[in-house]
A and B are shown apart, each in its own frame.
Chain A
Amino acid sequence: MTIPRRIAQTLVNSLKGGVVPRIGLPYITVGRKPEIDALLHDVDIIADGGASFRFIVGKYGSGKSFLLQTIRNYVMAKNFVVMDADLSPERRLQGTRGQGLATYKELVRNMSTKTRPEGGALPLILDRWISNVQTETAAEANLAITDAALPPLVEKRIACVIASLNEMVHGFDFARLLTLYYKAHMAGDDELKAKVLKWFRGEYATKTEARMELGVNIVITDDDWYEYLKLFACFLKQAGYAGMLVLIDELVNIYKIPHSITRQYNYEKILTMYNDTMQGKASHMGIILGSTPQALEDPRRGIYSYEALRSRLAEGRFAGEHKDLLSPVIRLKALTREEMLVLVEKLANIHAELYQYEQIVTQQDMVDFIEIEFGRIGSDEHITPREVIRDFIEVLDILYQNPHVKVRELLGSDSFTYAKNEVQEAPTEEKFAEFHL
């Protein structure tokens, strides 16, 4: 199987640097077939107008980010818009000092499409929407784009398009702002356009400020930012996109909130999201939350401490060793040795193809490598695919430059050092310190 060279290069460079590659993930995806099938099924549901809600639960290094990035790339290629944000002490789902709104701002800032994978796609989305409406109206009315008769028709069409938003919470204001954006575009008023974008990004702190600059008496707040996500999902469909996927990772930051009432408010937000998606109150929207097992299952502080969520999310008594992938919670286990072996096989092939040499690493060499990696002290608890991949690519690079060297000799020599697990071996910041009583 031939991989395009640019993809192979990006893969090797990113993996060697210990980061998830931006492209080419399908070529190195090993295992996780049921999980990916479940998520792809969700994507189909979203594209059909439905909604989905999933927890991806796994320890650090189990491949959560890899899976999220894989799905992210997939849905962007499928003409979805993706919004993603990592929670932190400053970004939560709800807070008294704007921590919820901070999450919304981050999500909108990171709004991405296929051609804008790094975020900042909101202006483009709005422009594309207007352009599409103009083009369609012009085609229907058989007018030129510059025809003076076109703008009123376009405005009328826009009003029809966004009328469906009026029924939703804050839909009227959302639609007003969209109309304002269109008018600013028609008037060539870039300043007004920028103000509208500022509003969509939740950057107006007070209603007064919004009223003075835009004439609207409403701003996105900590309490209602989620409603605007639903509005976005609906609008994006109207704008020609297949749907919207929201990825929120590092849910462990809610687990770490010291005040139990604050945690409860955040869990209530999750419950709202879950209910909306499961009960059809949201459409063309998928929500995936990334969490660690402890942040989910801890009965005193985790998500399961909130009974409403626990009763909805927890496994029933019939689940055991069988995975229920129709359940909202997808648990990621560490890749097995055999899966790691297939992964390093793929890496070896990609490396050989990229640098155009005859494959020198045999299957036995790869088996030896995996055995040595898993034979390290602490590998049960601490080894992650990241370290194995970085180590293996280092081995490939050395072998490529020194073909006479044997894998076993290399792994025993001083010229090769195991990749360090930066999280485990980094000094623990005070705010992340944990203790057990």
Chain B
Amino acid sequence: MQDKKIIRAADWWDHAIFRDESIKKPPRAKKEKLPAPLAKARKLENGGDSRASLFLKQGRLLADYEDDYCYHGDSVRYYPTYQSLSNDELRGYFAWRTKARQGVFCPTSISFIFLYIYELINQIGVKEPLSGYEKLLEINYKYGSGERYISYYLEQWLMDYIVYYDLDKSLLADKAQVSEGQCVSVLENLADREQDEVIESVKQLAPKWLRRSKFYANHYEDMNEVIYIVLQRMAKHYDKTCKKNFAGQFFGSMYSSHIHIFSAAIFANPLERRNYEYKIDDQYIYRCANGIWTVNRRPFLPRSVRKLEDLLKTIDSIMRTEYAYGHPILAATSVKWITRIITEETRALLARKAAPAKIVPAIDLSQLARIREDAEITRDKLIVEEESDARDAEPPEKPEDEASSGQALSSLAAPELRLLQCLLEGKDIGWIQKEGHMLSVLVDAVNEKLYDIFGDSVIDDKAALVEDYIEDLKEMMLS
């Protein structure tokens, strides 16, 4: 009995409750035909091109394509290209792109945004580079705040875009690396820079300490002056004694490193750049040599900033001590020559401030007439008779003036004239002693009598004619 019940229950179970059913095939989806441009682009995918090249080809083909497809999915593709999207996604992308180009930016998949960015950096649908740059900025503005990876990559790609497409350097002005480099450039040429420029650069590079310092807030003019002079002296010290200059000491040396332009993007080198240079400034140069990209710049490392911050803190500390400021702080560096410079300049500044302003009294012009008159009286008293005769007479340009030369010669006594002749003609002067004269006396007499003509002795103490006057004396004797 029991078995029959079980069998009847099993039959009921099999037939009433649990029956075999055939597996029904799902209904076939209606296959939409791809629009012709998209289909044409799809055909390119069998060409064997690289990913980037294919992307460029397809992109150029579809540069002006528009669609109104309704796509509600969420496309998640890494390094999206047209190839990597499905047809739906592809049409969905172009529909979004159509609206984006009209200025309507709807929420969309991150893949679509990156795909659009890749189009722009490859100049797909871009009339000229500057407009592509503006569109990139627009994308960053519209979607960058919501999707952090977009702003993260665009930060570098925007810079690469300016470099690659040779846009104006002014577009880089707000880039941190560029402005830091320019600040370092200022500090590299301290001797030629004004104080304001130097301080501005210092603040940009190392803003933290100066923002916090109360002493700086109260004495910013003095501290700026000391910072400026200390940096100049440090620069001179480094130039004189070290291989690295000030900028090198604090911010490292310039060096060249390999880079990938538009790194992590699908980029096909549309301009086919092989050899190219873009100079942002002396501190920052991009180069492409045989297709290899490098950047020559100074690496801006956190420790560079720290070193400068330490210096500013040390200046602050020493100035507080010298100013007897009520809140002393510890100096961040104890390098003796640096602390010595800071102390010297701080004290010099305090001394300059303490010195009263120099008042230069005006010249009293009413005294001039009296002073001139007194000077003339004194001059006339000091000029002895012979000099005054020479002065009053027409001053001869050369001593060959016949009247005065003749006068001088006629004033010479016979032995003096004879001595002069003998010296000019190289004759023997032994007759001097024989005739009872003294050579030194005759020489002195000739010199004295001809002094007013020549302003100097014409015979030296060795009884030789002074070379400079020989020709003039010969002419005098002849005339």
Binding site for B on A (CB under 8 A): 1-7, 10, 23, 25-27, 29-33, 36-37, 40, 70, 73-74, 77-78, 113-116, 120, 123-124, 127-128, 130-131, 134, 144-146, 150, 185, 188, 336-339, 341-342, 345-346, 367, 370-371, 374-375, 377, 380
Q: Mark B391-410, 1 if CB is under 8 A from A, else 0.
A: 10001010000000000000
Decide yes or no whether B386 CB sits under 8 A from chain A: yes
9 intermolecular pairs with C-beta atoms under 8 Å apart: A5-B397, A26-B378, A26-B380, A29-B378, A29-B382, A115-B447, A116-B457, A120-B461, A130-B438
* Distance of B81 from chain A, by nearest CB (Å): 63
**What is the bound-complex CA distance between A132 and B433, given in angstroms?**
15
User: Do A2 and B368 touch (CB < 8 A)?
Assistant: no
* B390 is an interface residue with CB less than 8 A from chain A: yes
Cα-based distance from A10 to B455 in the complex (angstroms): 10
CB of B290 closer than 8 Å to a CB of A: no
Per-position contact with A for B352-390: 1 when CB-CB < 8 Å, else 0?
A: 000000101111110110011011111111111011001
User: Which residue of the partner chain, among A6, A36, A116, contacts B382 with CB atoms under 8 Å?
Assistant: A36
- Are B455 and A74 interface neighbours, CB within 8 A? no
Does chain A have a CB within 8 A of B277?
Answer: no
Q: How far is the CB of A143 from chain B (nearest CB, A)?
A: 10
For the complex formed, measure the closest distance between the CB of A138 and the CB atoms of chain B, giving whole angstroms. 8
Is B192 part of the binding interface, using a Cβ–Cβ cutoff of 8 Å? Answer: no
Given A124-B440, A128-B444, is A25 in contact with B382 using a C-beta cutoff of 8 Å? Answer: yes
Q: CA separation between A10 and B363, bound complex, in Å?
A: 30
Considering only residues 410-458 of chain B, those with a C-beta below 8 Å from chain A are 433-441, 443-444, 447-448, 451, 454-455, 457
> Which single residue of chain A is at the shortest CB-CB distance from B415?
A145
Q: Give the chain A neighbours of B440 by CB distance below 8 A.
A: 123-124, 127-128
Cβ-defined contact, A342 with B368, below 8 A? yes
- Contact B371–A30 (Cβ < 8 Å): yes
Give the residues in chain A near B448, CB-CB below 8 Å.
Answer: 114-115
Residues of B with C-beta under 8 A to A123? 440
Contacts of B437 in A (CB 8 A): 131, 145
The reply to whether B372 and A4 contact each other, CB–CB distance below 8 Å, is no
Which residue, of A6, A115, A342, has the highest number of chain B Cβ atoms within 10 A?
A115
Bound: A3/B391 CA distance, A: 6
Give Cα A30–Cα B444 distance, bound, in whole angstroms: 33
Docked complex Cα distance between A120 and B386 (Å): 23
CA distance A180 to B161 in the complex (A): 107
**Residues of chain A contacted by B387 (CB below 8 angstroms):** 26, 77
Q: How far is the CA of A130 from the CA of B368 in the complex (A)?
A: 51
Say which residue of B371, B379, B433, B441 sits within 8 Å of A131 (CB atoms): B441
Q: What chain A residues lie within 8 Å of B361 (beta carbons)?
A: 337
Q: How far is the CA of A169 from the CA of B457 in the complex (A)?
A: 36
A346 and B375 CA atoms in complex are apart in Å by 10
Q: Which one of B365, B371, B380 lies within 8 Å of A31 (CB-CB)? A: B371
Q: How far is the CA of A435 from the CA of B374 in the complex (A)?
A: 41
Minimum C-beta distance from B367 to chain A (A): 4
Report the minimum CB–CB distance from B90 to chain A (whole Å): 70
Interchain CB contact under 8 A, B375 and A30: yes
- Minimum C-beta distance from A191 to chain B (A): 15
Q: B368 and A341: CB pair below 8 A?
A: yes
Q: Which residues of A contact B382 (CB under 8 A)?
A: 25-26, 29, 36, 40, 70, 73-74
Q: Which A residues touch B375, using CB under 8 A? A: 29-31, 33, 342, 346
Q: How far is the CA of A40 from the CA of B397 in the complex (A)?
A: 32
A36 and B381 within 8 A (CB): yes
Quick one: which of A5, A77, A374 contacts B386, CB cutoff 8 A? A77
CA of A136 to CA of B384, assembled, Å: 27
* Nearest chain A residue, comparing its CB with the CB of B457: A115
Q: CA–CA, A339 to B382, complex, Å?
A: 18
Specify the main secondary structure of chain A where it touches its partner.
helix
Q: How many residues of B contact A (CB 8 A)?
A: 46
A2-B391, A146-B436 known; A127-B360 Cβ under 8 A: no
Q: Taking A36-B378, A115-B457, A131-B437 as contacts, is the C-beta distance between A371 and B363 under 8 angstroms?
A: yes
Taking CB atoms, residues of chain B closer than 8 Å to A127 are 438-441, 444
Say whether B444 contacts A124, CB under 8 Å.
yes
A27 surroundings in chain B (CB, below 8 A): 379
What chain A residues lie within 8 Å of B433 (beta carbons)?
Answer: 188
A26 CA / B388 CA spacing, docked (Å): 11
Report the bound CA distance from A23 to B451 in whole Å.
12
Give min CB distance, B184 to chain A, whole Å.
Answer: 28
In the complex, the answer to whether A4 meets B438 with C-beta atoms within 8 Å is no
Decide if B378 touches A131 in the complex (CB within 8 Å).
Answer: no
What's the nearest-Cβ distance from chain B to residue A28, in Å?
9
CA distance A32 to B461 in the complex (A): 36
The docked-state distance in angstroms from the alpha carbon of A191 to that of B376 is 50
Question: A134: which B residues are within 8 A, CB to CB?
Answer: 436
Q: Which residues of A contact B397 (CB under 8 A)?
A: 5
Contact B381 A40, beta carbon cutoff 8 Å:
yes
B384 A74 Cβ-Cβ under 8 A: yes
| Cα-based distance from A42 to B436 in the complex (angstroms) | 38
A123 to chain B minimum Cβ distance, whole angstroms, is 6
Residues of B within 8 A of A37 (CB): 378, 381
Contacts of B360 in A (CB 8 A): 371, 374-375
Interface residues of B in 59-110 (CB under 8 A from A): none
Nearest residue (CB) in B for A35 is B378
CB distance from A226 to the nearest CB of B (A): 28
The docked-state distance in angstroms from the alpha carbon of A2 to that of B457 is 23
Q: How far is the CB of B48 from chain A (nearest CB, A)?
A: 69
B235 to chain A, nearest CB (A): 20
A371 to chain B, nearest CB (A): 6
Docked complex Cα distance between A73 and B109 (Å): 104
Of the residues A3, A6, A128, A342, contact of B372 by C-beta under 8 Å: A342
Minimum CB–CB distance for A40 against chain B, Å: 6
CB distance from B330 to the nearest CB of A (A): 36
B391 & A31 in contact (Cβ 8 Å cutoff): no
Given A78-B384, A116-B461, A367-B363: A33 in contact with B374 (beta carbons within 8 A): yes
Q: A29-B379, A115-B447 are in contact. List 14 more A-B contacts (CB 8 A).
A: A4-B395, A5-B397, A29-B382, A33-B374, A33-B378, A36-B381, A36-B382, A74-B384, A115-B444, A124-B444, A127-B438, A130-B441, A145-B435, A337-B363
Contacts of B384 on A, CB cut-off 8 Å? 74, 77-78
Closest CB-CB distance, A70 to chain B, in whole Å?
A: 6
Residues of A near B434 (CB, < 8 A) are 146
C-alpha spacing A31/B441, complex, angstroms: 39
A322 and B437 CA atoms in complex are apart in Å by: 55
Residues of B within 8 A of A188 (CB): 433
Closest to B399 in A: A6
B391 to chain A, nearest CB (A): 6
Q: Which of A32, A115, A131 contacts B438 (CB 8 A)?
A: A131
- Is the beta-carbon distance between B363 and A338 smaller than 8 angstroms? yes
**A-chain residues with CB within 8 Å of residue B444 when the two chains form the complex:** 113, 115-116, 124, 127-128
CB pair B451–A32 under 8 Å, yes or no, is no
Question: What residues of B have a CB within 8 angstroms of the CB of A367 in the complex?
Answer: 363, 365
CA gap between A134 and B441 in the complex, in Å: 12
Bound CA span A407–B435, Å: 64
Complex alpha-carbon distance, A169 and B263, angstroms: 108
> How many Å from the CB of A68 to the closest CB on chain B?
13
A7 contacts B455, C-beta separation under 8 Å: yes
Which residues of chain A are near B455, meaning CB under 8 Å? 4, 6-7, 10, 23
Report whether B358 and A375 are in contact in the complex, using a CB–CB cutoff of 8 Å.
Answer: yes
A3 to B390, CA, bound (A): 9
| Chain A residues within 8 Å of B381, by CB | 36-37, 40
| C-alpha spacing A26/B461, complex, angstroms | 28
Chain B residues near A150: list those with CB within 8 A: 436
Give Cα distance in the complex from A144 to B415, angstroms.
14
Those 6 A-B pairs whose CB atoms lie nearest each other, nearest first: A145-B436, A77-B384, A26-B382, A131-B441, A127-B440, A115-B447
State the Cβ distance, A328 to closest chain B Cβ, in Å: 21
- Tell me if A33 and B377 are in contact (CB < 8 A): yes
Which residues of the partner chain B approach A10 to less than 8 Å between Cβ atoms? Answer: 455
- With both beta carbons as reference points, the residue of chain B lying nearest to A123 in the complex is identified as B440
Within 8 Å CB of A3, what residues of B? 391, 395
